[in-house]
Amino acid sequence: MARMVDIGRKPDVARRAIASGAIRLKPSTVQAIRAGRVEKGDPLATAEVAGLQAIKCVWQVLPHCHPIPITAAGVTFDVRKDRIVATSHVEATYKTGVEMEALYGVTVALLTVWDMVKSMEKDARGQYPTARLVDVHVLSKEKGAAGRARG
């Protein structure tokens, strides 16, 4: 039987999580992103917004996650020769952690990049031999005084 964990008696605690992941792309696709030559627009600006939206709605798509009052969040990108690395940070003062929010934000941001550049990544058969999401993971999680928002 599936059910949410009862967190009603847990105290609110400052929490922070940072997650990262990457999308591997053809170097020519990365060059097009850098040069602003993507037909659908700016993949990184769009992916930043998509990642932030995703962070706020994890409870709507993952059945065991609670709605969390996010106090701070962000998604950043590092553009490399053959990949885009996304990093998200999420903060909240609540009864449960924010790791899933950070992971989901990174994943949705990377999927948004893929969606925006998929026409450049397809081969002659319509397949994606290079594009792939890799290394999505939690870089760190903090709870208590260490998890308080940075000034």
Q: What is the pLDDT of residue 148?
A: 54
% of residues, the chain, pLDDT over 90 = 89
**CB of 23 within 8 A of CB of 116?**
no
Q: Which two tokens stand for residue 112?
A: 């948004």
3-state secondary structure of 75: strand
| 150 pLDDT above the threshold of 80 | no
Q: What is the pLDDT of residue 151?
A: 42
Domains of the chain: 13-143 (3.30.70.640)
- The Cα-based distances of 109 to 5, 10, 41, 44, 103 in angstroms read 28, 31, 15, 8, 10
Find all residues with CB under 8 Å of 145, minimum gap 6, and list them.
Answer: 14
| 146 pLDDT above the threshold of 80 | no
- Helices then strands, each counted (H, E), the chain: 4, 4
Active site residues: 115
Q: Which of 107, 127, 122 is nearest to 29 (CA)?
A: 122
pLDDT band at residue 4, thresholds of 50, 70 and 90?
confident
The per-residue pLDDT of the chain, averaged, comes to 94
The terminus-to-terminus CA distance of the chain in angstroms comes to 43
For 60-110, write each residue's pLDDT tens digit.
999 999 999 999 999 999 999 999 999 999 999 999 999 999 999 999 999
pTM attached to this predicted model: 0.93
Q: Which of 116, 149, 134, 140 is nearest to 41 (CA)?
A: 116
**CB of 106 within 8 A of CB of 136?**
yes
Q: What is the pLDDT of residue 142?
A: 96
% of residues, the chain, pLDDT over 70 = 95
**Residue 87's Cα: distance from chain center in Å?**
7
